[in-house]
Amino acid sequence: MEHDDMQILNVDDVEAVEIVPGIVRRRLPATEWSRGWMYDFAPGTEWPEVDVHDGEERYYVVSGEFVDRGHRLGPGSYVVFAPGSTHRPRTETGARMLGISIPAR
């Protein structure tokens, strides 16, 4: 559903694209200020390379558990990365994250 100033959707209705075996991404509506995405990681998967942030990045753990920079992050965890930071999330259990990237200005 779209309005002039609002978009509503069910994330599971967004096309899932496999990034690497076991990790799928759903690109969510974006604006000039930020972009959103949903990632599903199968058990035992790890992001394929170190993720480097040009701008700010945030993610929220919806389900499962991620291990990121030595921290175990369960449902409800909210992580904020500063511009220039890096990470490489992985999961042993399988997990879902909702992320927002804010471009560098």
Question: How much is the pLDDT for 1?
Answer: 61
Q: Is the pTM of this model over 0.85?
A: yes
**pLDDT at 32 (0 to 100):** 87
CA separation for the pair 5, 19 (Å, rounded):
31
Instruction: List pLDDT tens digits, range 82-99.
Output: 999 999 999 999 999 999
* Residue 35, domain extent: 2-102
- The count of domains in the chain is 1
Which residues neighbour 69 within 8 Å (Cβ) at sequence distance 6 or greater?
A: 87
For residue range 10-52, list pLDDT tens digits in order.
999 999 999 999 999 999 998 889 999 999 999 999 999 988 8
Query: CATH number of the domain that 94 lies in?
Result: 2.60.120.10
19 and 25 Cβ atoms separated by less than 8 Å = yes
